[in-house]
Amino acid sequence: MDAVEKYMRRAFELAQLGLGTVSPNPLVGCVVVKNGKIIGEGYHQQFGGPHAEVDALNSIKDSSLVKGSQVIVSLEPCSHHGKTPPCADLIIGNEVGEVYLSNIDPNPLVAGKGVEKLRNAGITVNTGILEKEGSFINRRFFAQIIKKRPYIILKWAQTQDGFLARINNDSKWISDSYSRKIVHKWRAEEDAILVGTNTAFHDNPTLNVRDWSINKNQSQPVRVVVDKHLQLKNDLNLFQGAQPTICFNLKKNEISGNVEYVKLNDQDFLQSMLNELHSRNIQSIIIEGGAKTLESFIKNNLWDEARIFESQKRFVEGIASPKIEGSLISQNKLKDDTLSVFINNS
């Protein structure tokens, strides 16, 4: 099993290459092994494109090697016709000998049917290989299917003495330029970015990817702003350009250029907003602030992951950073900042 786990870790590496291009589909990597050697590998590269199994099998130059091989794939092969034919049928047609997978696909259209189809065809299927790691890689997809909402990432930078901004709401710049580049990388990997009214007004953010290159299969994230009473002026950066922007409010439904105003009820506002984003196939969202907005998500336990930069700067007084309870899964010293990542266990 050690060898299989090694190949599965390679499948995980491949799967993550699709981050930012396959949503709302899952991240999937696949490795094909024959006689202890990798003969092919691939991953799901973009939404609507070939699945990982197709990519891996197509990479094998000598098709005679496929019969009797082992397919190691991070997620259960699909069994239904979507934008592409069922991968389970492809595996069966190629007379693969054995399949190893990490996670069963929670999508009701699959949900064990792929495994059943393979076994009914006489193929040995082994499940649960590095299952916990596989679930984490596809945490966005699993939240979309199981929780029926986007995967929610809270992000903020705080001073060494625990402040998010100065008393006058000035927060530029707490983190250093290296940390800000990492944030742009994250923006390229997720579907949407959200800020509240105060942050939009005081910081006038652009909320796009500038300090990180995006490939031809990627697009700028959807910008989301909460402006319940439509106080923000139209000349703010997040309302400019072609990048789609959704403004959730209490007053109107309207489309104006690249901006869509979506009216919600004040009761259960956050949950209604997440329901709306889910209906638009937005699989993941970064909540970039400010303090009031971040705290509203924390108070309602509507978060999955928190990424917190702590700088060496001190403000002495200011707007306090949010307090969060979760499991610390990583902590890394960057250039001048420390990045801590927490996961919500509840």
How is residue 272 written in tokens?
A: 């209604």
Query: Which is catalytic among the residues 41, 53, 288, 305?
Result: 53
Catalytic, 98? Answer no
Judge contact between 175 and 156, C-beta under 8 A.
no
How is residue 317 written in tokens?
A: 């007084």
Among 263, 282, 283, which Cα is nearest to 272's? 263
- Spatial separation of the C-alpha atoms in residues 335 and 40, rounded to whole Å: 38
Cα within 13 Å of Cα(261), Cβ side? 17
- Spatial separation of the C-alpha atoms in residues 6 and 8, rounded to whole Å: 5
Q: How far apart are the first and last CA of the chain?
A: 32
DSSP state letter for 76: P
Among 203, 7, 25, 21, which Cα is nearest to 107's? 25
DSSP strand E in the chain: where?
29-34, 37-43, 70-75, 98-103, 124-126, 151-158, 163-165, 192-196, 222-226, 245-249, 254-256, 259-263, 284-287, 305-310, 319-320, 327-333, 338-343
- Spatial separation of the C-alpha atoms in residues 338 and 131, rounded to whole Å: 30
Burial of 323 (C-beta count, 10 Å sphere; 0-12/13-18/19+)? exposed
**Catalytic residue list:** 53
